[in-house]
């Protein structure tokens, strides 16, 4: 229901409810040493008439990205003509997102 994530003793994010989340943690990493990621979960109240359990019940992934990457929270997919194109088995799809450049110089990006 609610969780706090710490990286090397620094609280990085609090997540509420049962939704997926991600966060940037590179500023808290020890690149030349061991790192510790701690997740504390709380189930503060009975939330359903069934036992909802507590703890981490979904897969957890540690993702790495280069200094030039696509921001995960910026990805959007839309189907503006879905209703009229649906019967043709081909639907015009628009994918959008933001490219993040964490370097001090420009970068060339190829999208395939």
| Domain ranges for the chain | 1-64, 67-104
pLDDT at 96: 93
Token duo for residue 35: 């790192």
Which helix (DSSP H) or strand (DSSP E) does residue 85 occupy? helix 82-85
pLDDT at 35: 94
Which helix (DSSP H) or strand (DSSP E) does residue 83 occupy? helix 82-85
pLDDT at 47: 61
Spatial contact of 48 and 18, defined as CB atoms under 8 Å apart: no
Token duo for residue 67: 């200094």
pLDDT digits over 4-61, tens only? 999 999 999 998 877 788 888 888 988 889 999 999 988 776 666 666 666 777 788 8
């Amino acid at each position: 229901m609610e969780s706090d994530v710490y990286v090397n003793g620094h609280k990085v994010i609090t997540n509420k409810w049962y939704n997926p989340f991600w966060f940037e943690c590179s500023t808290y990493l020890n690149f030349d040493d061991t790192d510790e990621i701690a997740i504390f979960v709380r189930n503060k109240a009975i939330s359903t008439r069934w036992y909802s359990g507590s703890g981490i019940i979904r897969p957890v992934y540690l993702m790495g990205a280069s200094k030039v990457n696509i921001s995960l929270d910026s990805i959007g997919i839309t189907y503006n003509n879905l209703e009229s194109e649906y019967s043709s088995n081909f639907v015009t799809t628009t994918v959008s997102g933001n490219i993040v450049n964490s370097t001090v110089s420009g970068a060339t990006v190829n999208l395939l």
